[in-house]
Amino acid sequence: MSSAGRTASQTIAAFRTGETNARDLAEQTLAAITARDGAIGAFLHVDREDASQQAERLDERRRSGQSLGLLAGLPVAIKDVLCTRGQPTTCGSRMLKDFKPPYDAHVIERLRAADALLIGRTNLDEFAMGSSSENSAFQQTKNPWDATRTPGGSSSGSAACVAARMTPVSLGSDTGGSIRQPAGLCGIMGLKPTYGRVSRYGLVAYASSLDQIGPFATDVAGAALLLEAISGHDPRDSTSVNRPVPAYSQSVDQPLAGLKIGVPREHFAEGLEPEVASVVRGALDVYKSLGAELRDVDLPHSKYSIAAYYLIAPSEASSNLSRYDGIHYGHRTEAFKSMAELYAGSRGEGFGPEVKRRIMLGTYALSAGYYDQYYVKALKVRRLIRQDFDNAFADVDIIAGPVTPTPAFKLGELVDDPLAMYLSDIYTISANLAGIPGASIPCGFSKTGLPIGLQLQAPPFEEERLLRAARMFERATDWHLQTPPLS
Amino acid sequence: MSYDVIIGLEVHVQLQTQTKIFCGCSTAFNPDQPNVQTCPVCLGLPGALPVLNGKAFWLAVKTALALNCEIAPFTKWDRKQYFYPDLPKGYQISQYDLPFSHDGHVDVVTESGGERHVRILRAHLEEDAGKNLHDESGRGRDSQVDLNRAGTPLVEIVTEPDMRTAEEARRFLEELRLLLTYLEVSDCNMQEGSLRCDANVNLHVHQPDGGKVATPIVEVKNLNSFRFTEQAILHEVERQWEEFQRTGKTIKDAPKSTRGFDPGRGVTYPMREKEEAADYRYFPDPDLVPVTVTPADVARVRAEMCETPISRRQRFQTDYQLSAYDAAVLVDQGREVAEYFETVARAAGDGKQAANWITQDVLRELNDRQLTIATFPIPAPVLADLLGRVHRKELTLKSAREVFAALLESGEPANIEQIGQVIAEKGLAIVQDAGAIDAAIAQVIAANPKPVADFKSGKAQAAGALIGQVMKLVKGADPQGVRERLLEQLKSLP
Ligand SMILES: [Zn+2]
């Protein structure tokens, strides 16, 4: 079996048992990328030589009898927003076209320590801002189920490369839904952990208080493995939480007895396509048939989540992106006469329109005279949204609903309508505002054959519960076994 | 018309930490090799995150306690945003609405002996920026940025506008430096930029109707010496008074402007100002968690604090019966001199004597020889031994000075044995042999009939010449003892 068809657990097992070696795993992965990525456009950068060297070192380690890490032999693709020493880290932006960080992100260190094979850098919406891959400065990634459609965003490449079975797993980042939305649109598993569960050190910041790194996988076990490898305290990120990491990969197969699932009324209201609603309802029925109890829950402030998000995230982004000024590194304009022209020219040329739009939104929201009216108010709403979840979780173990209001839309369809684009994150954003974990699992298809995702959300640090609930569903269905035509 | 001068200061003090405030890079002063004390965090590289240096924080709390400030139980970090090449992230991590301390005071004694109570509005922590290096040859147009200093911990101390003269402002800074160096929270090295000051100055002009009119406030930026601060304020007062008389402009016409100080010409000059007021768009830094400080934390820091200069001045007066002036001279020399004094005073058993020697002889020698107390060749126990001998009347004051000079001359660090050696070599020991002294007195009386007769006829000062002659005959005699015996014998003459 080629590595391209294996799940993460199967790949690791094949390597551990000696059925295959890391060099073959790397080569099969590189071959799959060569064969398929022309049609998908998931990868921005693949350093074949580096991948081969990693594989050789790993084979050597196995030969010499050294102990092997949790992910030994597993090819992982990385969203191009995570710093990797000596590899381009472009964030999908002209601004960082030639930037190679001198250091590894915490999660990259963890992957290396777990003996994973870092296989390449995947496309994204510029600085993780967007929902369709159309904001990437370099290329558009296509949905493996239908190349005329978006794979979602901003972790577009990471979702598409797993959906197209080029790698069994990948890493993305999720600020308002950037893992769950593309996972839903591409028909794979995607998980955004609790804020603080995974260190953000080395993740190029979009909105620091919302960003969280998480896994994509073809199955729940793969996500559990990757999450287990990257979680845990990092003293270099003061928002990283010092709590023990459960062995997610060990517990994932244990079904949850007496599971109470909350169904938020607000997630089945106006704006949800009937087709998506009925597929998601069908998924909830599957849970019912497995013995879970469904209860209606209320998230009364969820209607403000988009508004709060588009004040908080751009405010933080306007600040986080100030460092790209043409002075120290990154793009610098050629023509300038003064310092102000150097800044304006470099930023004007380096950033794309969506990034500029959000910087301007944030600059406005933080400016004197508007701060209380916008930013402070948004923080208050954020607290209320968190309270809604706390109240709901007093009654239920898991909250379930749609990931997106529609299946994958056509590339180009919403480019000129940013507000409509923003609505594709309407069900995912509140988890980031509340800091809770959320996952998307494949739960069916539209009539036109596009995947539809089911979102599961859990209380803070209950990723174990989330994964076990996801696996219960996966075991009872075969949606995750469907592979797209471009695979 | 007359006016009051209103002065408030904003002082930036660099904390004496080994590492920067949000990363592990060294804070050593390194003017020669740019950008060698940097890492992804202080360079502001994409993805790098700050983590608070606990030592810097507790050092800052110590600083604030020394300024009699209240310590906030909850404090957070804010971003102050502006574009400048020496600011790598495009924002400075600082504290805005919830500084870690507030409402303190420092009492300053002026040279005339007056006292000024200066209130501290707040002290907050922030990171320093880097440094822009411009090509000053006039040929090239390259500017370079050195980020060695970026991320160095600074405490910004903001006073209320409580100072009324340039001298008070200078004395405030001197007292502040003394306080912070005593506590070892900062080296306050102004050449290396460890202590920098902005002065806010304006005038309140008395009106004929009894009211007052304020002139526009001027902030004089980046004053890096006590003298420049005083000079800049003096100039600014003169300039504002002249301008007010000429234009009548008040704070209502222009609330505030920024000026620099040219030490060469002794004048302030206008700095380029932005068209609009700066909007720093402060907001809480989402990368840093807030800090909570418990009363137990404050108690722990307080327990680690040494005596402040103010309480030491008072204690020296009560413990050693020093004048306020002598106590201030000793304490104001810095912690090491004060501790040198205290060692000598205790061991010699004579605080007054120790103060005299140190404020006069020792400080003079330090000054003449360009030494610090740490490099002074006579350690405190040696001086204490010498003064102890004087105190026990084993040595005259004059002889002690001779020993002191001899110990200094060797250039090597002196030890106690050397005192005995010098006394022996120079024969400086006080002669306790009453017989020898009496014999010398008899000899002198016999040889000097004229002064003896003068004394007997009531000219008391004639005894002086006789004492001198006796002292010449008996080296090391105690002049007081000689005087007493001589007068006794003269009186007993018929
Ligand atoms: Zn550093």
How far away is chain A from the Cα of B297, in angstroms, using its nearest Cα? Answer: 20
Give residue A321's Cα distance to chain centre: 20
Q: Please give the pLDDT value at position B30.
A: 85
Give the distance (Å) from ligand 1 centre to CA of residue B25: 4
Q: Tokens at residue B69, please?
A: 């400030």
CA of A163 to the centre of ligand 1 (A): 40
Distance, CA B80 to ligand 1 centroid (Å)?
19
pLDDT band (50, 70, 90) for residue A4? low
Confirm if A41 and A123 have CB atoms less than 8 A apart: yes
Identify the CA nearest to B108 among candidates B24, B174, B154, B46: B174
Query: A229-274, pLDDT tens digit by residue?
Result: 999 999 999 999 999 999 999 999 999 999 999 999 999 988 899 9
Let me know: does B423 contact B429? Beta carbons within 8 Å. yes
SS3 state of residue A316:
helix
pLDDT for res B483: 82
DSSP string, B406-426: HHHHT-SPP-HHHHHHHHHHH
> How distant is the Cα of A227 from the closest Cα of chain B, in angstroms?
20
Per DSSP, the three-state class of B124 is strand
**Residue partners of B355: CB distance under 8 A and separation at least 6:** B316, B320, B322, B326, B327, B330, B341, B345
- For the segment A2-28, the average pLDDT, to the nearest whole number, is 91
Kindly indicate the confidence band of residue A1, based on its pLDDT and cuts at 50, 70 and 90.
very low
User: Does the CB of A220 have a partner CB in chain B at under 8 Å?
Assistant: no
> What is the pLDDT at residue B396?
84
The H or E element that residue B292 is part of is strand B291-292
User: Computed over its alpha carbons, how large is the radius of gyration of chain B?
Assistant: 31
Query: What is the ipTM for the molecules in this complex?
Result: 0.96
Q: In DSSP terms, which residues pair with A477 in a beta bridge?
A: none
C-alpha to C-alpha distance for B404 and B360, rounded to whole angstroms: 13
d(CA B326, CA B328): 5
User: For a pLDDT cut of 70, what percent of chain A falls above it?
Assistant: 99
Q: What is the mean pLDDT of chain A?
A: 96
Q: What is the mean pLDDT of residues A127-156?
A: 97
Stronger pLDDT, B277 or A282, i.e. the higher one: A282
Of A101, A102, A200, the CB nearest to B49: A200
pLDDT at B312: 93
Q: Would an 8 Å CB–CB cutoff place B389 in contact with chain A?
A: no
User: How close A183 gets to chain B, by Cα (Å)?
Assistant: 24
pLDDT reported for residue B274: 56
- Residues B5, B199 contacting (CB under 8 angstroms): no
- Confirm or reject contact between B81 and chain A (CB < 8 A): yes
* Optimal mutation site among A175, A201, A209, A322, interface B, most CBs of chain B within 10 A: A322
The DSSP output letter for A409 is P
Closest alpha carbon within chain B to A323: B89
B90 contact A CB<8A: yes
What torsion do the CA atoms of B55, B56, B58, B59 make, to the nearest 10 degrees? Answer: 110
Q: Could you give the angle at the alpha carbon of A264 between the alpha carbons of A259 and A269, nearest 5°? A: 145
* Separation of alpha carbons B10 and B173, rounded Å: 10
Say if A209 is an interface residue toward chain B (CB within 8 Å): yes
Confidence (pTM)? 0.90
pLDDT number for residue B138:
63
Interface membership of A433 toward B (CB under 8 Å):
no
Whether pLDDT at A178 is above 50: yes
Catalytic residue numbers of A read: 79, 154, 178
Q: Mark yes or no for CB contact A329/B45 under 8 Å.
A: yes
> Which residues make Cβ contacts (< 8 Å) with residue B53, sequence separation at least 6?
B17, B19, B20, B21, B22, B23, B153
Q: Which residues surround ligand 1, an ion (CB under 5 A)?
A: B 23, 25, 39, 41-42
* Average confidence (pLDDT) per 10 residues, chain B, 494 residues: 94 97 94 93 97 97 97 98 95 97 95 93 97 75 89 98 97 96 92 93 94 95 94 97 94 91 94 72 97 97 92 94 93 93 91 93 92 92 91 85 89 87 81 76 85 82 82 76 81 77
Inspect the interface and report whether the beta carbons of B145 and A328 lie closer than 8 Å: yes
Residue A385 distance to chain B (closest CA, Å): 18
Which amino acid is residue A362, in one-letter code? G
CB contact set of B353 (below 8 Å; sequence gap of 6+): B387, B390, B391
pLDDT score for B145: 94
Q: Is A406 on the interface with B (CB under 8 A)?
A: no
DSSP string over A430-443: HHHHHT--EEEEEE
Contacts (Cβ under 8 Å, ≥6 apart) of B54: none
Q: How far, in Å, is the centroid of ligand 1 from the Cα of B158?
A: 27
The CA distance from A232 to A106, in Å, is 10
Q: At what angle do helices B324-332 and B166-182 cross, to 10 degrees?
A: 60
Contact yes or no for B47 and A204 at CB 8 A: yes
Locate the chain A residue with the closest alpha carbon to B89: A323
β A189-192/A169-174 pair status? unpaired
pLDDT of residue A416: 87
DSSP state of B121: E
Please give the pLDDT value at position B277: 64
Confidence (pLDDT) at A349: 98
Torsion angle of C-alpha atoms B391, B392, B393, B397, degrees rounded to 10:
-30
**pLDDT at residue A388 is higher than 60:** yes
Res. A328: pLDDT tops 70: yes
Q: In Å, how far are A121, A176, A306, A461, B26 from A195, measured between CA atoms? A: 24, 12, 19, 9, 31
Average pLDDT over residues A49-59: 97
Residues of B in contact with A328 (CB under 8 A): 43-44, 88, 145
Q: Distance (Å) from the C-alpha of residue A378 to the closest C-alpha of chain B? A: 13
